[in-house]
């Protein structure tokens, strides 16, 4: 098959058959693919890169995802929780730096009941009404999601991790189910959140068929945001001896996602920046248009270790925004200080 023709077709129709997708996911010759994705992104979002201040507010977690460094059974993890005041102080610093979205991410920590979380969200929203609040705190009940939305949360990030039930069962303990995770995503959408999903690239036992299934699931969900990043091993997990994911596959998938979901907000993730010094820039060139620098208090940044060597300094840190601005400008893009909501309409 002529690959450029396949890419043109993907650009025009926003879809492709499984074999074509597999070919594109694994190609070493990505120039035309990245150029098509960059063109698509420009049509919807111009040269803007949107920034989110990431506050990792707890690394306590009741779950035992086999890949994750903050899993409950990792006894070597040093645990912390931030208070509402700690979080408001992060927001104040973030606001001063120019952030207009705050992302509250954490493990599934039962300390943060609906009451505690709703109070945190409404306090942020009343102090910064011009800002968006994004939550990323895992699977909760419909009532909980609804209460948090009513308290003012605008967006929710919940990666499905893998859309293949067999693969999901290899990455998670029996107590967790893909079905429940998917249901949470559809409920979040129904409630009215801007919803983000996504998956790891190169997680143990993942096949090309799994990745095609991931793309098919996203087609059904049509999320506003799609986050992907390479799997990276963590020494304190059962997956410590597995290979990290492939940078190439990850970049190809960002470009494919941009072509399939032109309107999507797609971050160039910390995991991408960790796997290669220029990984984040490569993500932008492949079609990503969001970056989430770390706004957590300095003392806890190294404790939110989902995987080994996770970056939290330089332009990965919220204070490194001017460095980030320069790096982005060198690529022909610009940091936008808008809230950066999803745009479903082509601008050109």
Closer to ligand SAH by CB, 107 or 293: give it: 107
**Structural contact between residues 193 and 151, judged by C-beta atoms closer than 8 angstroms:** no
Q: What is the DSSP letter of 294?
A: B
Q: Return d(Cα 108, Cα 61) in angstroms, integer.
A: 5
Please, what is the minimum distance in Å from the beta carbon of residue 15 to ligand SAH? 25
CA 48 to chain centre: 18
Angle at 226 between CA 283 and CA 198, to 5 degrees: 105
Please, what is the minimum distance in Å from the beta carbon of residue 87 to ligand SAH? 16
Q: Return d(Cα 117, Cα 140) in angstroms, integer.
A: 12
Closer to ligand SAH by CB, 227 or 262: give it: 227
Which positions lie near ligand SAH, rule CB under 6 A?
67-68, 105, 107-108, 136-138, 158-159, 161, 200, 229, 231-232, 234, 271, 306-307
Closer to ligand SAH by CB, 50 or 231: give it: 231
Closer to ligand SAH by CB, 68 or 335: give it: 68
Please, what is the minimum distance in Å from the beta carbon of residue 260 to ligand SAH? 19
Please, what is the minimum distance in Å from the beta carbon of residue 167 to ligand SAH? 13
Closer to ligand SAH by CB, 68 or 87: give it: 68
Torsion, Cα of 247, 252, 256, 262 (10° steps):
70
Question: Quick one: which H or E segment has residue 238?
Answer: none
Please, what is the minimum distance in Å from the beta carbon of residue 31 to ligand SAH? 27
Alpha helix locations (H) across 222-336?
Answer: 247-260, 270-275, 279-285, 298-301, 321-329
């Amino acid at each position: 098959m002529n690959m450029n023709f396949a890419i043109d077709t993907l650009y025009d129709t926003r879809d492709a058959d499984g074999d074509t997708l597999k070919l594109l996911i694994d190609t070493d010759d990505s120039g035309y693919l990245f150029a098509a994705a960059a063109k698509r992104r420009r049509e919807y979002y111009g040269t803007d890169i949107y920034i989110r201040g990431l506050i990792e507010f707890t690394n306590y977690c009741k779950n035992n995802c086999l890949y994750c460094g903050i899993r409950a059974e990792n006894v070597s993890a040093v645990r912390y929780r931030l208070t509402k005041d700690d979080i408001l102080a992060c927001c104040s610093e973030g606001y001063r730096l120019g952030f207009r979205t705050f992302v509250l991410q954490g493990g599934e920590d039962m300390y943060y009941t609906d009451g505690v979380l709703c109070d945190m969200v409404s306090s942020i929203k009343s102090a910064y009404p011009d800002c968006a609040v994004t939550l990323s705190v895992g699977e909760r009940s419909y009532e909980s999601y609804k209460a948090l939305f009513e308290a003012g949360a605008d967006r929710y990030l919940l990666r499905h991790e893998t859309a293949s039930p067999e693969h999901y069962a290899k990455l998670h303990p029996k107590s967790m189910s893909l079905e429940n995770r998917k249901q949470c995503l559809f409920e979040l959408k129904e409630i009215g959140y801007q919803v983000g999903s996504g998956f790891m690239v190169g997680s143990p036992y993942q096949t090309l068929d799994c990745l095609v299934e991931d793309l098919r699931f996203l087609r059904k969900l049509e999320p506003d945001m799609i986050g992907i990043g390479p799997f990276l091993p963590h020494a304190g997990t059962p997956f410590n001896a597995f290979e990290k994911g492939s940078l190439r596959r990850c970049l190809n998938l960002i470009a494919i996602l941009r072509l399939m979901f032109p309107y999507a907000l797609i971050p160039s993730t910390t995991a991408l920046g960790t796997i290669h010094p220029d990984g984040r820039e490569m993500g932008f060139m492949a079609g990503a248009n969001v970056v989430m620098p770390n706004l957590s208090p300095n003392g806890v940044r190294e404790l939110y270790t989902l995987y080994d060597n996770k970056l939290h300094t330089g332009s990965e840190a919220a204070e490194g925004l001017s460095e980030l601005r320069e790096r982005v400008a060198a690529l022909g893009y610009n940091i936008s200080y808008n809230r950066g909501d999803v745009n479903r309409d082509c601008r050109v």
